[in-house]
Amino acid sequence: MLRLGTREFATHQPVIMAIVNRTPDSFYDRGATFAERAALERVARAVDEGADIIDIGGVKAGPGAEVDAAEEIRRTAGFVAEVRRRHPDVVISVDTWRHEVGEAACAAGADLLNDAWGGVDPRLAEVAARHGVGLVCTHAGGARPRTRPHRVRYDDVMADILRVTVGLAERAVALGVPREGVLIDPGHDFGKSTRHSLEATRRLDEMTATGWPVLVSLSNKDFVGETLDRPVKERLLGTLATTAVSAWLGAQVYRVHEVAETREVLAMVAAIAGHREPAVARRGLA
């Protein structure tokens, strides 16, 4: 059972995490939700479309203008408090690698800290433990935050993913993070080439076999774009195909830009797998 905030999710229940970037330079939406009003509208739409988690980020993942901890807190903490006020039942996640930001986010009402950079700040897990919130433990191949991979090599990429993510998860629980709130993430594109991300997807069942809930962040990423030779605004079909494969192999949480489309893909895969009944089943019965 995955427990985040006031919500509980059964083992085979797919969970959608909607991306809300409080940044002026995000790779996908180019700052469309930097302004608070636009960001709040995005949250409301995502919740209406079926998002279970809202993931709020204050710093672009890739290289760009410097954003210090104080500015990241300014972009996220007050917004977390307002989302909590407007949507008391939604799970609120904050995408950060900094313990200072995690502290402010938890004080404002966050339920989950999404550490996409693989524990580069070990104090972030301590913050999660102190506040009793969840933690995403991600494989980033040892990359420093906001850097791009360059000629990264692994003897076995999935073996490295498992070593790092399970190790981070076990450390988090030892520190006091609730075990039912810890997730592991293969970190598509983070410290990886396109071939590495494809292999991580292909072998995702090795992650789900660990028993830790698996989160995948696939939405419109470069490995999809390079695989299909598509620019960032034309990667939805590739993203949804990768989502379907990940669902079949047992991933549970999906960090996405397109909530409604993802929900339908996950519902279809769940029905094929026998975890969900068809919404309507009249064919051949009349």
Q: Which residues are catalytic?
A: 221, 255
Q: Which residues contact 46 (CB under 8 A, 6 or more apart)?
A: 18, 20, 54, 259
As given in the structure block, the two tokens for residue 250 are 């047992």
Give the whole-angstrom CA distance, residue 192 versus residue 198.
10
Q: CA–CA distance from 152 to each of 61, 93, 135, 145 (Å)? A: 18, 29, 26, 15
Kindly state the tokens that stand for 231.
């620019």
What is the 8-class DSSP label of residue 140? -
What residues does 138 pair with on adjacent strands? 185
DSSP 52-107: SEEEEESS-SSS-S---HHHHHHHHHHHHHHHHHH-TTSEEEEE-S-HHHHHHHHH
204-208 LR contacts (CB < 8 Å, sep 24+): 204/245, 204/246, 204/249, 204/250, 204/251, 205/249, 205/250, 206/158, 206/162, 207/158, 207/161, 207/162, 207/165, 207/250, 207/251, 208/249, 208/250, 208/251
Beta strand pairing call for 134-138 and 182-185: parallel
Residues 94 and 117 sit within 8 Å (Cβ to Cβ): no
